[in-house]
Structure 1
Amino acid sequence: MSNLFVSRSLDEILFWSRIMKEHSLFLKLGFNCDDTELINEADHFYKLFEAIETKAQNFTMQSDPRQIQQFNIEVHNAASMIWAFKRKILGLIITCKISGNNFPLLVDHTSREAAYFATRLKELNEGKLKPQPAAIIRENVFFLRIMADHAKFIGHLLDPSERKLVEQARDFSHDFDQLLFQAVDLEAMQPQSETVPLIDKLLDENRVSVKSLRDFKKSARDLIEACKIKSIIHPLLADHVFREAERFLQIIDLFEAELTGTNTQSIEDIANHGF
């Protein structure tokens, strides 16, 4: 179990520290040029999570679990700090104290991911390595909302003349809103809803839609990188949302395997490929 603790911890940190680093960049790009204090804070967090990412890459599967536990605490503190920074920005935007190009929903979205990251590290240090039914439902609610947000952001950041892509993004937004409401209903019915058939159905339905959204994001990313569509989407942002869809699919597969008792992944597979 100590090897599994190390692999899961490093997997979470390597994935989410990169996400936090990129959030810092996206927020910085959305500030006005005279928001120098906020720009400097964003730069600070970019460097902080870049250093965390580098440090994580220097650990191995043979690393002492006690060292990893301390590292998790260190990273948890960093995730908590960037969460507070994001909530401060959200407050400034909503009270009209700053303007710029950061949507309030985008800032809230990034803060939810920071909170999720911090919670995952806390759970790992508490020895919670295998997902329980309640956690599976809760995590699907979290990621379905993330996917629904992504579809909305894409629809708003594409040029209005990209009518077909905008319409596709709206369709995905509606689809994931419905899946989210369905998962929230299941969450509200807990603990009675924590049955294998119901959770299995939840995972199967979500997998189909997430694969479709993942493929749409991949196509959009490739078109943006090739300068074949008109948008104000940063190429890194396009890749960022694609990676998060991939992450959700990995988590769905892990949950399915744990639920059915067919988890045959080796510790090395988990370390090399995530969940």
Structure 2
Amino acid sequence: MSRNYVTGNSPECRNCVCEFNRLTEALFWSRIMQEHALFIKLGLPANEPELIEKAQEFIERFRELRKRLKKAYKLEGELLKDLIDAVKDIIEFKAKLLRLLIQCKAEPGSNYPLLLDHIRREAMHFLELLKKPEAKEPLFMLLQEQVFWLRIMKEHIEFIIHLLDPSERELLNQAEGLRQTFSRLLETARDLESMAETKPKTFNAVLSFTRNVITAATELRNFKATAFELAELCELLSIVSTPLLLDHVRREADKFLDEMEALLPSVRKCNTSIG
């Protein structure tokens, strides 16, 4: 599997320490932020022109930042500051929208409260990567990323289930099976992350669990890719606002898989007795 981005692998592991490549992460996540703004805009009701305009401003803001990132060799200085400011602002915009919905002070359109919380958490994850990615032992980074991504993947499935037409019974049945799988995996990942806090010298069980995660994530990635292709061909009955949404979640599954495959060899070498 090879889906590495412009500046190379992220995370990178050397001598039993792993860290994220900020520029690589910025290239990936800035596109995600731009698309979040688009999905918010498409989901807002027509009687919220100010919110629609604000979403459009974020689309344009991240589009310009992405142009600058593609020309950069290192993420630092004014570019880093501008990107951090933009991410902080979109976090607050997403939080504001969520508060309005929770307090019944705005019409939801098609933006679920959980969807807004979901994309807010992704933006917060991006912000942490931008500030100064902390170098960590492979085991801790692997489990931390599993807990983050498994929740994201589980919620993707739940959103897709609610967007598919009831007549899409085969896809809905497949999605429900995936939802149950990812719910179980998330619960186990949280257990393993908690156990790892005791700092065991070796933790072999993480290897078999991660292989199961990769298998499930690959199946989900293929499910999303199929749904995207069907939507592109107008062969999918749904209320998905744009096929781009399905490609968006497929790319996030690819990112999850890339991270697992980058971290697993170092976990095997540094944190297990299998080596």
TM-score, scaled relative to structure 1: 0.85
Q: For the residues of structure 1 that align with 2:97 and 2:258, how far apart are their CA atoms?
A: 31
Alignment of 1:1-275 (within 5 A): 8-60=21-73, 63=74, 68=76, 71-99=79-107, 100-124=109-133, 128-129=134-135, 132-192=138-198, 195-233=202-240, 234-261=242-269
Structure 1 position 135, deviation (Å): 2.5
Say if 1:76 and 1:117, in contact at 8 Å, map to a contact too.
no
Partner Cα separation in structure 2 for residue 221 and residue 196 of structure 1: 38
In 1, Cα distance between equivalents of 2:64 and 2:33: 12
The amino acid of 2:57's aligned partner reads H
What is the CA-CA distance between 1:69 and the residue it aligns to?
Answer: 5.6
Structure 2: any 5+ residue segments left out of the alignment?
A: 1-7, 13-19, 271-275
With 29-38 and 240-249 compared, the bigger mean Cα shift is at 29-38
- Percent identity reads 39
Name the CA distance, whole Å, in 1 between partners of 2:141 and 2:84: 19
Q: Aligned equivalents of 1:78 and 1:120: distance in 2?
A: 14
Report the number of matched residues.
Answer: 252
Q: Distance in 2 between matches of 1:81 and 1:261?
A: 40
Query: 2:266 & 2:175 partners in 1: Cα distance?
Result: 32
Match of 2:219, as an amino acid? S
TM-score, with structure 2 as normaliser: 0.85
Taking a change above 3 Å as real, the CA distance of residues 169 and 193 of structure 1, as seen in their structure-2 partners, is farther
Q: Is residue 187–residue 193 contact of structure 1 (8 Å, CA) maintained in 2?
A: no
How far off is 1:72 after superposition? 3.1
Partners of 1:73 and 1:257 lie apart in 2 by: 34
3-state SS in 2 of match to 1:98 = coil
Mapped partners of 1:69, 1:208: distance in 2: 40
Distance 2:269 2:104 in 1: 52
Moved over 4 A (4+): none
CA distance in 2, matches of 1:49, 1:211: 29
Alpha-carbon distance in 1 for matches of 2:150, 2:228: 20
Aligned residue for 2:197, secondary structure, equals coil
The amino acid that maps onto 1:167 is N
Residue 261 of structure 1 deviates from its aligned partner by 4.5
In 1, the alpha carbon distance for the partners of 2:223 and 2:199 equals 32
Shift of 1:225: 0.3
1:245-271 residue CA offsets vs partner (Å, 9 max, x unmatched): 000000001111322359xxxxxxxxx
Does structure 2 conserve the Cα–Cα contact (< 8 Å) formed by 1:150 and 1:241? yes
Structure 2 residue aligned with 1:266: none
How far the C-alpha of 1:81 sits from its partner, in A, is 1.4
